[in-house]
Structure 1
Amino acid sequence: MEKLEVLKKFNSYNNNTLMETLEIEFVDIGDDFLVAKMPVNSRVHQPYGILHGGATAALAETVGSSASMFFLKTNDKIVKGIELSINHLKSKREGVVYATARPIHRGRTTHLWEVKVTDEEENLISICKLTNIILDKK
């Protein structure tokens, strides 16, 4: 499947979900990475007018879980996030953040991803580790 087709397919899964609410959009994919972006505005702010850590965590888990699904290249499995660790390093008031998931480990039953969240100027906003479990579809 062509890169643009894959991104279009992934973005279609966002309808009527938290990802649609947060305006998360998949924008790039490669041999060992997946990238999604999210606008930073009042919809994702915490009371101090900066990006909410929970919105950042949702972005990170979205891109890491989706990367697991894509790289499995099968329809008989499902992916569930079982642990997310995130460090917020810099605040962001407006603009866009990008989450890039890269594999640390892709085993038969677990995947571990590093997800870096950066802004338009490639400043590191947050760094995350996501563990997914791979289960048989029932």
Structure 2
Amino acid sequence: MDKQKILDTCNRLSKNTLMQTLQIEFVDVTEDSLTAKMPVNSSVHQPYGILHGGATAALAETVGSCASAIFIDNETKIIKGIELSINHLKSVKEGFVYGVAKQIHKGKTIHLWEIKVFDDEQQLISICKLTNIVLDKK
């Protein structure tokens, strides 16, 4: 596994997308996980001055979907998220949050991921489950 090549590819694919708008950056990959970080500032706050749950969900779906894409033939297949559930456990006002995707199931057509979102102090902020479907490119 060429870790740097995977991270470079994931970050390159984020250009001109929601991921770039949210400043999501892929920062680590291992044999069983992918990690991305996102800054927490007023651009991702909800009206109470804390991280918006929708921005957290976007981080979770981003890292889980990209993790699935690592395991498929991207020339002939495409990944689409079909279900995302998320529980928010703690709020964050500033700093960074980190989404860490770990595989629960990797089938031929369905991938299931657990994504844990942590803050700078490694406190658990949210826990998510993402289901992706693997489809043939048309």
Cα offsets for 1:31-90 (capped at 9, x unmatched): 111000000000100000000000000000000000000022542110000000000000
Q: Distance in 1 between matches of 2:81 and 2:132?
A: 4
What TM-score do the two structures reach when normalised by structure 1?
0.97
Question: What is the identity, as a one-letter code, of the residue corresponding to 1:87?
Answer: N
Secondary structure, aligned partner of 1:35: strand
Q: Unpaired runs of 5+ in structure 1?
A: none
- Matched pairs, number: 138
State the match for 2:104 in structure 1.
104
State the match for 2:15 in structure 1.
15
Q: Distance in 1 between matches of 2:108 and 2:98?
A: 28
State the match for 1:93 in structure 2.
93
State the match for 1:72 in structure 2.
72
Q: Unpaired runs of 5+ in structure 2?
A: none
Instruction: Output the aligned Cα RMSD.
Output: 0.9
Secondary structure, aligned partner of 1:54: helix
The runs of at least 4 consecutive aligned structure 1 residues that moved more than 4 Å come to: none
Secondary structure, aligned partner of 2:71: helix
State the match for 1:29 in structure 2.
29
Q: Distance in 1 between matches of 2:79 and 2:28?
A: 20
Secondary structure, aligned partner of 2:93: coil
What TM-score do the two structures reach when normalised by structure 2?
0.97
Secondary structure, aligned partner of 2:65: helix
